[in-house]
Amino acid sequence: MGGSTATTARNTGGTTLRNGLTAAARGLPLAVVSLAAGITLFVASVLSIAFIPLGIGLLTTPAVLGAVRSHARRRRSLAADRAGVTVPEPYLPLPERTRPGLAGQAGRCLFLLRDQATWRDLQWLLADATAGFLLALLPTVLTLYGPYGTVVAAGLWRAMDGTWFLFVPLTSQFAAFLAMGAGWCLTAAGLRWGPALLDADFRLARALLAPTREMELRRRVDRLYETRHDAVDASAAELRRIERDLHDGAQARLVAMGMSLGAIEALIEKDPRQARRLLAQARENSAEALNELRDLVRGIHPPVLAERGLGDALRALALRTQLPVEVEVDLPGRFEAPVEAAAYFAASEVLTNAVKHSGAGRVWLDVHYAAADGTLRVTVTDDGHGGADPAGSGLAGVERRLGAFDGVLAVSSPAGGPTVVTMEIPCLPDPRAGDAGRPARTRP
């Protein structure tokens, strides 16, 4: 047992030494970049904004603020890679279309200045050039004190006679040894606490670069505003589709059936054989019209979805799909009809895309409810050739449909496959979720 404890202690010591030396090596370049880039970009931003009334700033401000954002994005990436600290981007999306010439530059400049994230970036530049610089520099400086104290004790103290090394006056060899001991104590502290100091630097960046609650609410309102328009447009397009299908399908067959019945009335005594033939044709038209009406109703809201719920509706959908589909459903009960419809038609669209474009031989459909974060997740995976375009009309329509419920769509489709499409809809579980006939409530 004693040997095991010693081995564990050596492993722990080796890990601490390795992490401390890594922090010391990374801290110095990070400190230099924080100081140089922070001061340079902050001064350039202030001067550029100050020159806006002269007209020069209209041309320079978008470029300078773009450089600030690029620097902030690199720090976000560095924080995620080295410390596992995720720093979301709070920037409002830039307008896709701007006017040409000076008017466009002025509009872009005004848009950037109105974005609250711009001013938080400038605050971060100041903090990063001061507190961030010190936090990044300390691991390197503390780690170097031990070697420096050793050099001083080896004889350099004679050239430094009368000066101070930390709190020790260098007046004798004994004082030099005291200085060396103090230096190695600081080196031990740097190796032990250096990684924590770098993590503090990245947490400082997260505190100033991440979106505030107010910014999150504003982005949420903007997203809901956009998805509301998308939902209205989608509803209008759906109504036009229904009208077109009724006009071109069932309505045309019903009209033909009515004309056949009129002809039958005229022929029933004169030509019974022809009347029977027209009657058989009318019966076929009525059956086809009924099938088309059923398909139309299924496209609006499948009866099995209303009667049996999302799980059974997706199982029925999988049976009608041309590819073999393995379905796994784990749901606590029913959800509100709009939520179930959104999930059903989103899955239907993704399955249709897999059949038409993926070249897959098999599809897996997984539907479950994550109670921890209150999210309904539908995942469609196929073994096709990959390369699905998230911006394509089909997936873009799915994203708009989910956006009306504040849902998200994630697509992973590398070349060669497989393709994994994950759809998430936030919703709250019903306290009576055990009763499959009672719906859950959507999360506000």
Q: What is the mean pLDDT of the chain?
A: 80
The pLDDT of residue 432 is 42
pLDDT the model gives residue 438: 41
Question: For the chain, what are the domain ranges?
Answer: 13-209, 214-300, 304-442
Amino acid at 152: V
- In which band, very low, low, confident or very high, does the pLDDT at 392 lie, cut at 50, 70 and 90? confident
pTM across the whole model: 0.57
pLDDT of residue 133 exceeding 70, the answer is yes
Fold held by 304-442: Heat Shock Protein 90 (3.30.565)
Mean of pLDDT values over 194-210: 90
Q: What is the pLDDT of residue 442?
A: 37
Question: What DSSP string describes 308-354?
Answer: H-HHHHHHHHHHHSSS-EEEEEE-SSEE-HHHHHHHHHHHHHHHHHI
Q: Cα dist. 410→80, 322, 364, 366, 432 in Å? A: 20, 24, 16, 14, 30
To 5 degrees, how large is the angle CA 344–CA 346–CA 351? 95
pLDDT band at 135 (very low <50, low <70, confident <90, very high): very high
d(CA 292, CA 355): 22
Per-residue model confidence (pLDDT) at position 261: 74
Which of 104-108, 118-122, 174-178, 400-404 shows the highest mean pLDDT? 118-122
- Polymer length in residues for the chain: 444
Q: What is the pLDDT of residues 314-350, one digit of tens each?
A: 898 888 888 898 999 888 888 888 888 888 888 888 8
Pairing, β 439-442 against β 419-428: antiparallel
> At residue 219, does pLDDT exceed 50?
yes
* Least confident piece of the model among 28-32, 167-171, 208-212, 250-254: 250-254
